[in-house]
């Protein structure tokens, strides 16, 4: 990072710097606020989905196949005692 | 099976890459402006935000035409999100422009400049779009009236732009013209990449919001289908398509 600033042109940050920084910070802040609002809505959707699953008596999560069978172990739906 | 947010990952990566390149060009490549110096760097964020916002309003109007022609509510949703995103970008354009005006002209706002005032009028016009939707409870009527508004207001944007271009005595600099503009090559390239970055950001957020809204609408439909209207609960009044 230091190298990047070393090759940068001399920027007159003492005069116009705060204004330019403020303009770009406003841009970043708008995006962050938007993403935060969308994340909140996403969490609400997830809560509603979980509620619907409970109402329909479905299991909480459908686990992906890679979680069900760790690497190197055969994947099976049969109980362990039957395999033995 | 419905696919939500298809292609969103690729679009997001392209947006981040373009904006990163644009910022690098702005601060390490584009020369300092002879008149304004470092403060002119705001140009690369303010103007693309304003252009993309105005284009977003026009796109919202075009999508509303598709809604009225087909009667398909998906076009209303697309039009709503296009205008919603354009309002956010427009607010960004107004604030960054105001900061630039203070640094350059010594005032946060200049009422005598047609460019500033016309952009504010467009923003205020579209600021009434959400309250208009919210005031209509019936979803069908809400979508239809909102589409009519979006078309009329969207048509106002280019007319307004032409009127301002023909106006005399503007304080606002004219650097982008049909005859090639007054930007030197390096500044022009930096501006083009910045504009592309902001346009991609608009497209990404538009897709993101459409995917989120469609998923939510689908969930509500499933809930109503599975549990019935009473168990699912009444939908509250909303400005967004439901």
Compute the distance between CA of residue B79 and CA of residue B149 in angstroms, rounded to an integer: 11
Q: Is the pLDDT of residue A82 over 50?
A: no
List domains and CATH numbers for chain B.
Answer: 8-168+183-232 (1.20.120)
Q: Is the pLDDT of residue B118 over 80?
A: yes
**Average pLDDT of span B172-196:** 78
CA distance B232 to chain A (A): 9
| Contacts with A27 from chain B: Cβ below 8 Å | 45, 49, 92, 96
**Average pLDDT of span B104-117:** 88
| B239 in A contact zone (CB under 8 Å) | no
- Banded pLDDT at A69 (limits 50, 70, 90): very low
Cα–Cα distance list, B53 to B47, B57, B237 (Å): 10, 6, 27
Q: Is the pLDDT of residue A72 over 50?
A: no
Cα–Cα distance list, A12 to A18, B46, B75, B188 (Å): 10, 20, 48, 22
Compare CB distances from B39 to A7, A19, A56 and report the shortest one's residue. Answer: A19
Residue closest to B29 by CA, chosen among B197, B226, B194, B227: B194
Using an 8 Å Cβ cutoff, are B143 and B76 in contact? yes
Compute the distance between CA of residue A21 and CA of residue A15 in angstroms, rounded to an integer: 11
CA distance A40 to chain B (A): 11
B127-146 pLDDT, tens digit per residue, is 999 999 999 888 899 999 99
B97-110 pLDDT, tens digit per residue, is 999 999 888 889 98
Instruction: Indicate yes or no: CB of B102 within 8 angstroms of CB of A23.
Output: no
- Banded pLDDT at A75 (limits 50, 70, 90): very low
| A24 in B contact zone (CB under 8 Å) | yes
Instruction: Indicate yes or no: CB of B39 within 8 angstroms of CB of A41.
Output: no
Question: What per-residue confidence (pLDDT) applies to B130?
Answer: 92
Question: What per-residue confidence (pLDDT) applies to B3?
Answer: 61
CA distance A61 to chain B (A): 16
- What DSSP string describes A44-59? HHHHHHHHHHHHTT--
- Give CA B95 to chain center in angstroms: 14
- Banded pLDDT at A81 (limits 50, 70, 90): very low
Question: What per-residue confidence (pLDDT) applies to B84?
Answer: 95
Question: What per-residue confidence (pLDDT) applies to B14?
Answer: 95
Average model confidence (pLDDT) for chain B? 87
Minimum mean pLDDT range among B2-11, B16-25, B37-46, B212-221: B2-11
A41-62 pLDDT, tens digit per residue, is 989 988 888 888 888 877 665 5
Question: What per-residue confidence (pLDDT) applies to A74?
Answer: 44
* Closest-CA residue of chain A to B201: A31
Q: Is the pLDDT of residue B77 over 60?
A: yes
B143-173 pLDDT, tens digit per residue, is 999 999 999 999 999 998 888 888 765 566 6
Residue, of A66 and B190, whose pLDDT is higher: B190
Residue closest to A53 by CA, chosen among B78, B227, B211: B227
Question: What per-residue confidence (pLDDT) applies to B177?
Answer: 64
Compare CB distances from B209 to A12, A20, A38 and report the shortest one's residue. Answer: A38
| A23 in B contact zone (CB under 8 Å) | yes
């Amino acid at each position: 990072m230091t190298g990047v600033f070393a090759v940068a042109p001399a920027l007159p940050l003492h005069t116009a710097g705060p204004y330019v920084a403020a303009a770009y910070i406003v841009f970043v802040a708008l995006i962050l606020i938007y993403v935060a609002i969308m994340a909140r809505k996403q969490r609400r959707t997830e809560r509603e989905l979980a509620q619907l699953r409970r109402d329909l008596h479905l299991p909480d999560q459908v686990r992906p196949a890679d979680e069900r069978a760790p690497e190197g172990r055969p994947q099976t739906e049969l109980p362990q005692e039957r395999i033995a | 099976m419905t696919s939500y947010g298809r292609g969103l990952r690729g679009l997001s990566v392209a947006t981040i890459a373009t904006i990163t390149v644009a910022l690098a060009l702005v601060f390490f490549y584009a020369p300092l402006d002879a008149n304004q110096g470092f403060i002119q760097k705001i140009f690369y964020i303010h103007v693309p935000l304003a252009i993309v916002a105005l284009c977003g309003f026009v796109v919202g109007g075009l999508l509303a035409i598709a809604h009225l022609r087909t009667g398909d509510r998906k076009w209303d949703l697309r039009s709503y999100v296009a205008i919603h995103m354009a309002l956010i970008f427009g607010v960004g354009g107004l604030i960054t422009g105001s900061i630039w005006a203070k640094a350059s002209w010594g005032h946060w706002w200049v009422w005598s400049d047609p460019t500033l005032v016309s952009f504010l009028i467009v923003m205020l016009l579209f600021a009434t779009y959400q309250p208009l939707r919210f005031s209509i409870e019936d979803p069908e009527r809400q979508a239809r009236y909102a589409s009519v508004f979006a078309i009329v207001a969207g048509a106002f944007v280019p007319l307004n732009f032409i009127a301002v271009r023909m106006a005399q005595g503007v304080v606002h600099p004219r650097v982008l013209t049909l005859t090639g503009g007054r930007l030197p090559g390096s500044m022009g390239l930096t501006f083009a990449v910045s504009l592309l970055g902001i346009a991609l950001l608009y497209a990404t957020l538009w897709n993101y919001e459409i995917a989120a809204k469609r998923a939510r609408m689908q969930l509500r439909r499933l809930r109503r289908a599975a549990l019935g209207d009473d168990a699912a609960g009444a939908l509250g009044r909303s400005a967004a398509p439901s």
